[in-house]
């Protein structure tokens, strides 16, 4: 179902409100099913046994591959842009993708992977990762992609949480001028992962040297490339887990969100088609890594389910120069470009000279995702990349939501700088006031509060792997009967949503979610640190940066403070990954805590941002005097 104009947008919004079952059924009917559903959906936000299309059976890859082979087998499905721009773009047709996915699926079966098994993928952005994701789905295995920038410890933690038995990796990954030894990281991680039986290794850099463990490690070229190119799809139940994706929360270790097959499929295509409004020959480029949900929904599933051409980029925006994105857009004729505000700000900081002589005339639509986009970045993107002719869709959503929830629809509903604008038809966001009550917003009024969603939608994550109770506590306890997003938002007089950012202890660094608790855990392992508090504060490029306040074991000189910052950052790289880097570290004698022992991070954030004027009520603190000490030290 693709909305074509504003009138139809309003019609669909009303239809979804008045006849939700009929609305979602129309979307489901556009797919190929092995067996039909006996119900559109069941469950609610009180019982948390949410199901979409129960009773149905399907295979998602049949909808991605076989379905499109009937109409356009030779159409380009995937364009791979290698790290080095002198490597020509590699184009893979739907037919070829089908054949390569089937080969990988057969190879996985030969390794012993069965329906319901969990396959972990730890790779760079190479076609073999894309193919592996689809191959797992082809045989009914659940995939768990771990971002290739995570450390051995992080990888091990995710493997052990899911008890995954199979791992697919690359020997190395290539990013900018770096060659990252992925297999060496895997070897270190697997020392702690007894569940893993087999490792499949794709060679990205065959000149490099890796260790092999016989009986456990197999090469892609010896297994996948020798396998048959036909593999019948394994049909699964609508609610069969399609993938697990780990993301940070406000407490504890990363949680594995479980997305299931039919609902995710319907939601990925519905949102992709309606937000981006692609024509048949358009080319979609989403710059996200497959290690994040954006890479799942809008590099892989959305575009392919819709039968379009998607671009996969191995490199980084500044290699070999900050003109890379613009050169590739011209080289490929990209029509739809979807990236993160942090990338826009980083390129903006390099100046417009990198855009000189770039045509960018193929572009039709620009997208933004991952964090609130500030006005300057929006204007720069609009003026210098979109040449003032392309609408910008600022898409708000989350790992948990599976797909875009609030966004303009390109060329259909208006784009407004810094506003995600309107919910998609079928999505019912509301704001909660300080007493936990839904704010009854009316046209002409403005409102501000915590953002919740009212009714289940097909793409919502169904659980946290192995911990359904944590799922319920995390998302449904604060506002019973509602899904709580963790974000704050405002609504303008016309009903447009503006997301103001996280209201929980999650920090958004360069569009990546990091929990303050995970970072504090690592800091507290440093021999000099007894206790620490980590906060996110505004950062010009990253959106937010991490800052730490630490109570030391013994008194420490200012020189030592810097040394500790460096040591702590090394520790964080080792334990979490390079994205978890602290900008500043302050040694303190105490932390501002409430009487119940909760650190008042709000106060620490203001101190880091040098905003000492309005610290709010500090009288309820256990140790109110510490606040002035912290301010004095900061000054
Ligand atoms: C958090 C979710 C969306 C997929 C990538 C990130 C923030 C995301 C926007 C936006 C303002 C945004 C929110 C959200 N966020 N998109 N367009 N405007 N904020 O997924 O890692 O699960 O992070 O990212 O704070 O809760 P994620």
**pLDDT per position as a tens digit, 19-43:** 999 999 999 999 999 999 999 999 9
Distance 103 CA to ligand 1 centre (A): 35
The token pair at 189 is 């991680």
- Does 614 have pLDDT greater than 90? no
The pLDDT of residue 560: 86
- Atom 21 in ligand 1: residue holding the nearest Cα: 513
Average of per-residue pLDDT across 593-598: 81
- Does 426 have pLDDT greater than 90? yes
Closest approach atom of ligand 1 to CA 512: 21
* Widest pairwise Cα distance in the chain: 72
Query: What does the DSSP 8-state code read for residue 355?
Result: G
Which contiguous run of DSSP H or E holds residue 136? helix 127-138
- Atom 23 in ligand 1: residue holding the nearest Cα: 398
Contact assessment for residue 102 and residue 134, using Cβ atoms and an 8 Å cutoff: no
Query: How far apart (Å, rounded) are the C-alpha atoms in residues 304 and 68?
Result: 9
Distance 189 CA to ligand 1 centre (A): 29
Mutate to test the pocket of ligand 1, among 499, 500, 502, 579 (most ligand atoms within 8 A of CB): 499
Contact assessment for residue 283 and residue 79, using Cβ atoms and an 8 Å cutoff: yes
Give residue-wise pLDDT tens across range 201-254. 999 999 999 999 999 999 999 999 999 999 999 999 999 999 999 999 877 789
- Atom 7 in ligand 1: residue holding the nearest Cα: 371
Distance 27 CA to ligand 1 centre (A): 25
The pLDDT of residue 615: 80
Give residue-wise pLDDT tens across range 296-332. 999 999 999 999 999 999 999 999 999 999 999 999 9
- Atom 19 in ligand 1: residue holding the nearest Cα: 371
Distance 370 CA to ligand 1 centre (A): 4
Q: Could you give the 3-state DSSP secondary structure of residue 323?
A: coil
Give residue-wise pLDDT tens across range 454-467. 999 999 999 999 99
Distance 39 CA to ligand 1 centre (A): 31
Angle at the Cα of 409 (from 403 to 411), degrees rounded to 5? 150
Contacts of the segment 54-58: beta carbons below 8 A, 24+ positions apart: 54/238, 54/239, 55/238, 56/237, 56/238, 56/262, 57/33, 57/235, 57/236, 57/237, 57/238, 58/31, 58/32, 58/33, 58/34, 58/235, 58/236, 58/238, 58/261, 58/262, 58/265
Ligand 1: residues with CB < 6 A are 247, 292-294, 368-372, 394-399, 420, 485-487, 499, 501-502, 508, 513
- Atom 2 in ligand 1: residue holding the nearest Cα: 398
The token pair at 108 is 């996985």
- Does 596 have pLDDT greater than 80? no
Task: Output the 3-class SS for 179-229.
Answer: EECHHHHHHHHHCCCCCCCEEEEECCCCCCCCCCCCCCEEEHHHHHHHCCC
Closest approach atom of ligand 1 to CA 248: 21
Share of the chain above pLDDT 90, in %: 90
The pLDDT of residue 476: 97
Mutate to test the pocket of ligand 1, among 254, 370, 418, 504 (most ligand atoms within 8 A of CB): 370
- Atom 6 in ligand 1: residue holding the nearest Cα: 370
The pLDDT of residue 63: 98
Cα torsion 346, 348, 350, 351 to 10°: value is 180
Contact assessment for residue 311 and residue 332, using Cβ atoms and an 8 Å cutoff: yes
CA atoms within 13 A on the CB side of 516: 27
Query: How far apart (Å, rounded) are the C-alpha atoms in residues 63 and 66?
Result: 6
CA distances from 445 to 13, 431, 495 (A): 20, 13, 8
The pLDDT of residue 621: 83
pTM value is: 0.95
Mutate to test the pocket of ligand 1, among 345, 508, 518 (most ligand atoms within 8 A of CB): 508
Closest approach atom of ligand 1 to CA 485: 26
Give residue-wise pLDDT tens across range 351-385. 999 999 999 999 999 999 999 999 999 999 999 99
**Of residues 503, 309, 483, the one with CA closest to residue 402:** 483
Tell me whether residue 630 is exposed, middle or buried, using C-beta atoms within 10 angstroms of its C-beta: 0 to 12, 13 to 18, 19 or more: buried
Distance 340 CA to ligand 1 centre (A): 10
Average of per-residue pLDDT across 87-101: 98
Distance 269 CA to ligand 1 centre (A): 19
Closest approach atom of ligand 1 to CA 368: 17
Look at the chain and count its residues.
Answer: 635
Contact assessment for residue 368 and residue 406, using Cβ atoms and an 8 Å cutoff: no
The pLDDT of residue 489: 97
Closest approach atom of ligand 1 to CA 406: 17
Mutate to test the pocket of ligand 1, among 255, 286, 396 (most ligand atoms within 8 A of CB): 396
The pLDDT of residue 59: 98
- Does 116 have pLDDT greater than 80? yes
Closest approach atom of ligand 1 to CA 407: 17
Q: Could you give the 3-state DSSP secondary structure of residue 453?
A: strand
Distance 508 CA to ligand 1 centre (A): 8
**Of residues 559, 575, 417, the one with CA closest to residue 496:** 417
Distance 123 CA to ligand 1 centre (A): 23
Distance 139 CA to ligand 1 centre (A): 31
Distance 367 CA to ligand 1 centre (A): 13
Give residue-wise pLDDT tens across range 174-205. 999 999 999 999 999 999 999 999 999 999 99
Distance 170 CA to ligand 1 centre (A): 29
The token pair at 458 is 């097909």
Query: How far apart (Å, rounded) are the C-alpha atoms in residues 241 and 43?
Result: 17
Task: Output the 3-class SS for 560-603.
Answer: HHHHHHHHHHHHHHHHCECCCCEEEEEECCCCCEECCCCECHHH
CA distances from 387 to 179, 380, 588 (A): 36, 9, 49
Distance 369 CA to ligand 1 centre (A): 7
Query: How far apart (Å, rounded) are the C-alpha atoms in residues 121 and 465?
Result: 17
The pLDDT of residue 620: 77
- Atom 5 in ligand 1: residue holding the nearest Cα: 370
Mutate to test the pocket of ligand 1, among 259, 275, 398 (most ligand atoms within 8 A of CB): 398
Please give the mean pLDDT across all residues of the chain: 95
Distance 395 CA to ligand 1 centre (A): 8
Distance 371 CA to ligand 1 centre (A): 5
Give residue-wise pLDDT tens across range 54-81. 999 999 999 999 999 999 999 999 999 9
Distance 510 CA to ligand 1 centre (A): 11
- Atom 14 in ligand 1: residue holding the nearest Cα: 398
- Does 616 have pLDDT greater than 80? no
The pLDDT of residue 559: 82
Closest approach atom of ligand 1 to CA 511: 6
Average of per-residue pLDDT across 417-424: 97
- Does 125 have pLDDT greater than 90? yes
Count of Cβ atoms closer than 10 Å to residue 480 Cβ = 10
The pLDDT of residue 594: 82
- Atom 13 in ligand 1: residue holding the nearest Cα: 371
The pLDDT of residue 249: 85
SS3 of the chain: helix, strand, coil, percent, to 5: 35, 25, 45
The pLDDT of residue 619: 77
């Amino acid at each position: 179902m693709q909305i074509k104009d504003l009138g139809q947008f309003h019609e669909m919004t009303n239809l979804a409100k008045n006849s939700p079952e009929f609305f979602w059924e129309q979307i489901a009917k556009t797919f190929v099913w092995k067996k039909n559903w006996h119900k559109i959906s069941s469950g609610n936000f009180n019982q948390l046994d949410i199901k979409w299309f129960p009773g149905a059976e399907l295979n998602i890859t049949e909808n991605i591959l076989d379905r499109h082979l009937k109409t356009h087998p030779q159409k380009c499905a995937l364009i791979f842009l290698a790290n080095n721009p002198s490597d020509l773009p590699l184009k893979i047709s739907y037919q070829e993708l089908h054949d390569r996915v089937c080969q990988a699926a057969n190879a996985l079966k030969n390794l012993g992977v069965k329906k319901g098994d969990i396959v972990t993928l730890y790779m760079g952005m190479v076609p073999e990762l894309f193919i592996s994701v689809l191959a797992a789905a082809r045989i009914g295995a659940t995939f768990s992609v771990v971002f290739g920038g995570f450390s051995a410890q992080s990888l091990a933690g995710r493997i052990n949480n899911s008890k995954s038995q199979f791992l697919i990796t690359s020997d190395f990954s290539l990013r900018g001028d770096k060659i990252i030894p992925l297999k060496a990281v895997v070897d270190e991680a697997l020392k702690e992962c007894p569940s893993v039986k087999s490792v499949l290794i794709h060679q990205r850099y065959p000149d490099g040297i890796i260790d092999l463990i016989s009986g456990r490690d197999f090469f892609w070229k010896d297994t996948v490339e020798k396998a048959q190119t036909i593999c019948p799809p394994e049909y699964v139940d609508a609610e069969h887990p399609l993938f697990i994706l780990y993301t940070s929360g406000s407490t504890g270790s990363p949680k594995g969100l479980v997305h299931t097959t039919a609902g995710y499929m319907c939601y990925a295509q519905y949102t992709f088609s309606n937000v981006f409004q692609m024509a048949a020959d358009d080319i979609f480029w989403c710059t996200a890594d497959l290690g994040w949900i954006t890479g799942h929904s809008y590099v892989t599933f959305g575009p392919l389910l819709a039968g379009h051409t998607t671009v996969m980029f191995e490199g980084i925006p500044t290699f070999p120069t900050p003109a890379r994105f613009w050169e590739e857009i011209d080289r490929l004729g990209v029509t739809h470009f979807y990236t993160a505000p942090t990338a826009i700000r980083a390129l903006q900081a390099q100046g417009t000279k990198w855009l000189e002589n770039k045509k960018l005339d193929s572009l039709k639509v620009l997208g933004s995702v991952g964090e609130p986009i500030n006005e300057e970045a929006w204007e720069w993107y609009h003026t210098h990349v979109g040449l003032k002719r392309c609408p910008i869709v600022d898409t708000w959503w989350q790992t948990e939501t599976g797909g875009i929830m609030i966004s303009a629809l390109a060329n259909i509903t208006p784009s407004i700088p810094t506003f995600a604008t309107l919910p998609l038809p079928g999505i019912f966001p509301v704001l909660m006031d300080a007493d936990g009550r839904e704010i009854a917003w009316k046209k002409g009024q403005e409102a501000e509060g915590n953002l919740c969603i009212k009714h289940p939608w097909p793409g919502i994550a169904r659980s946290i792997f192995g911990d359904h109770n944590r799922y319920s506590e995390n998302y449904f306890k604060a506002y019973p009967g509602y899904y709580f997003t963790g974000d704050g938002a405002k609504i303008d007089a016309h009903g447009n949503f503006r997301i103001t950012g996280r209201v929980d202890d999650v920090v958004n660094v360069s569009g990546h979610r990091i929990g303050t608790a995970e970072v504090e855990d690592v800091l507290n392992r440093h021999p000099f640190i007894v206790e620490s508090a980590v906060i996110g504060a505004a950062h010009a490029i990253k959106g937010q940066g991490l800052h730490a306040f630490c109570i030391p074991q013994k008194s420490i000189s200012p020189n030592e403070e810097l040394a500790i910052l460096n040591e702590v950052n090394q520790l964080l790289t080792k334990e979490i990954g390079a994205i978890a880097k602290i900008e500043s570290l302050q040694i303190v004698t105490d932390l501002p805590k409430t009487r119940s022992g909760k650190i008042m991070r709000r106060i620490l954030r203001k101190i880091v941002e040098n905003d000492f004027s309005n610290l709010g009520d500090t009288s309820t603190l256990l140790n109110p005097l510490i606040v002035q000490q912290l301010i004095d030290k900061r000054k």
